[in-house]
Copies of this chain bind each other. A is one copy, B any other.
Amino acid sequence: MTGRIPLLVGGADDVRTQMILVAAHAAEVDVKTEAPKSAAAPELQFSDKKITYTGAILRFFGRFHESSEVYGSSFYESAEVDSWLDWALMELAEPPVRLEQAAQTLEKHLEQRVFLVGQRLTLADIAASLPLQRFQQQGLVQLGRATKRWLGTCLATEAACSVLSSAPPKGKAAAAATAAPSVAPVAAVAGATPMSSTPLLDRYSSCVGGRTEIKRIMLADGDGKSMVGQKVSVCGWVKTAREVVIDSGAKGFDSLKGKCSTGASMKCTGEVVASPGGKQAVEILVKDAGSEVVLFGGVDAKEYPLAKKGHSHEYLRSIAHLRPRSNLIGSVARVRAALAQATHEFFRSNNFLYVHTPLITAADCEGAGEMFQVTTMMAEAEKDGKPLPMANGKFDYTKDFFQKPAFLTVSGQLSVENYCCSLSKVYTFGPTFRAENSHTSRHLAEFWMIEPELAFADIVDDMNCAEDYLKYCVRYAMEHNRQDLEFFDDKIEKGLVKRLENLLAEPFARVTYTEAIDILLKESPTAKFQVPVEWGMDLGSEHERHLAEKVFKKPTIVYNYPKDIKAFYMRLNEDNKTVAAMDVLAPAIGEVIGGSQREERLDVLDRRITEMGLEPKDYWWYRDLRRFGSVPHSGFGLGFERLIMLTTGVENIRDVIPYPRYPGHAEF
């Protein structure tokens, strides 16, 4: 949700305008106001869009700031609010032909309640109380005891007081005003309400006397121009001094001398003015009375690692504690957070339960290959200054914390399968580790994985879910992080937005491994692959990218792989040669998702475990799922950093995670 500040065009004494202003205040939304050119209904404008009809505008504010709960605090409350809102708009806002009946309905409903819906003021109360007060003042209706108490409560709320205190005088005069055409400018209201003079302050900034977040200003109506003329206090770190223009006579100016370069932190109180040029449309002018600048922390430009412009990605990695102040890493951080949010929203909206699988594991079936070991024994040995005793080439783990060798997990899949086979649809989202001695731009020792697992689902359901999820995430970023994606399109990957639009445009291609091999064999003479193609091989990056980029020119799902190149838990197909595994390959990225239907038949599972040279008894609990109420189920895994690379175009995985871990690097 952006901080655009909408413009309300409405008459100041129009009860609908007042309802909207009260709702905006209750929802903690800033609005600017403007008198209408004619006696039209209120209209809300933002960016290039407009919202008409009082109900739509009220609902807009109800959703703007969800935690304000003016649209109810739950799904069902929202539905109740909607009913009462429509009731009020129909029965009360229009000429009151059945006012007495409406009053009876209200009195009956309010006998046992403080507000119309739930425990606090909602849009329903706002829409009903304001017109009702007018009718009462005009002597058009007699209200019951419960309704009077409710009306008093509604009108005493901070939101109502702040708007109505500057509205036309109550009583007969108000009735007269109502009768007059609704053309009086709303500016009189606007000037007196906190809404238009003080844009929403951050809730937890009493420390600095309150502040308005800069993005709220810069994004207002898309470019901030609608904020011109408003007085604001902003806090932040200087990137360039361009956005804020400080007059040498401004209060606090002298404290800045020699300290106000890039990286300095300060608070500026001043007026938003149109920018005479440059990239942004507005600046803050710290000049006139009431303007002020407060320096929190200065910077010695000679020492500041980010003082100069245009640092290499490598250099930024060496100052991981400061690099989020760079445009690149700041944008990555925002997209990363948005994709995490999209992940939870997608799975929750599809009724998946979020499960935290363990990081440390001492399960007998986990091997030590490419796993990090977790121990307290080495520190103990160093404390005692004695080497670790070894017998028959093995350490004695009875004194280790977990009394056996323990490792950091390489996947939550087996653990989450237990929850899947109890609660049907589940997913994990957590860190995963790989002690691979890899220095490539595509591997990390510590990364985040998302692993959904679906009961009663086969490989087709699995592919459907993977495609839906990937598209949901990309669409989410396109909608919530457009500015960041345009930055990446400009600086990192030309054509990024177009590539993402293509990803969303049509269904992914789907092809079996065997079909894929046939295609690659045909293309081999011209494609000239480094590794020759043959059935049974694992597809290399060159093959995967050829399929997605050259053959299908869109994300491509390859499924039904040879059993010998896949894990023991993947379900054996009828052909006895392939397993129900699938990989999602994306153009420019390669594999982003790998998944499979799991082998649910105990006898087949045992045979596969043995074939792979493993011991069925080490998998006793995994086998239990097949002994007791086994069900068909499927799942997949997605490396979260791969998803961010796909969405941003950033090519080095070390730049899409706050603190990358790879051989020799775990500082900060």
Contact = CB atoms under 8 A, between A and B. Distances in A.
A418 B322 contact: yes
Interface in A204-229: 204-208, 211, 213
A632 B480 CA distance: 29
B667 A356 contact: no
Contact of A322 (B49, B422, B472, B663): B422
A500 to B, nearest CB: 14
Contacts of A408: 374
A341 interface: yes
B379 A354 contact: no
Contact of A348 (B83, B341, B368, B422): B341
A115 interface: no
Contact of A52 (B87, B351, B387, B389): B87
Contacts of A90: 53
Interface string A37-70: 0000000001101111101100110011111000
Interface stretch (A190-198, A448-456, A528-536): A448-456
A309 interface: no
A267 B424 CA distance: 13
A321 B351 contact: no
A304 interface: yes
Contact of A358 (B348, B403, B475, B661): B661
Given A297-B629, A346-B67, A630-B297, A658 B358 contact: yes
Interface in A350-374: 350-351, 353-364, 368, 371-374
Interface in A361-396: 361-364, 368, 371-379, 381-382, 385-390, 393-395
Contacts of A87: 52-53
A625 interface: yes
Nearest to A375: B373
A603 to B, nearest CB: 12
A302 to B, nearest CB: 12
Contacts of A53: 82-83, 86-87, 90
Contact of A658 (B83, B203, B208, B415): B415
Contacts of A643: none
A304 to B, nearest CB: 5
Interface stretch (A148-156, A181-189, A231-239, A279-287): A231-239
A336 B321 contact: no
A385 B393 contact: yes
Nearest to A459: B207
Given A406-B666, A465-B204, A353 B337 contact: yes
A377 B379 CA distance: 13
A80 interface: yes
Nearest to A323: B422
Contacts of A354: 336-337, 340-341
Interface stretch (A71-79, A167-175, A244-252): A71-79
A263 interface: yes
Nearest to A418: B321
B355 A75 contact: no
A337 B359 contact: no
Contacts of A359: 359, 431, 433, 446
Interface string A389-422: 1100111000001111110100000010011011
A288 interface: no
A423 B324 contact: yes
A361 to B, nearest CB: 6
Contacts of A73: 475, 479
A358 B659 contact: yes
11 contacts: A235-B631, A236-B424, A297-B630, A361-B666, A362-B666, A373-B374, A375-B375, A378-B378, A402-B666, A419-B658, A431-B431
Given A56-B86, A65-B349, A359-B431, 8 more contacts: A53-B87, A207-B632, A208-B632, A300-B627, A305-B624, A358-B658, A371-B379, A376-B435
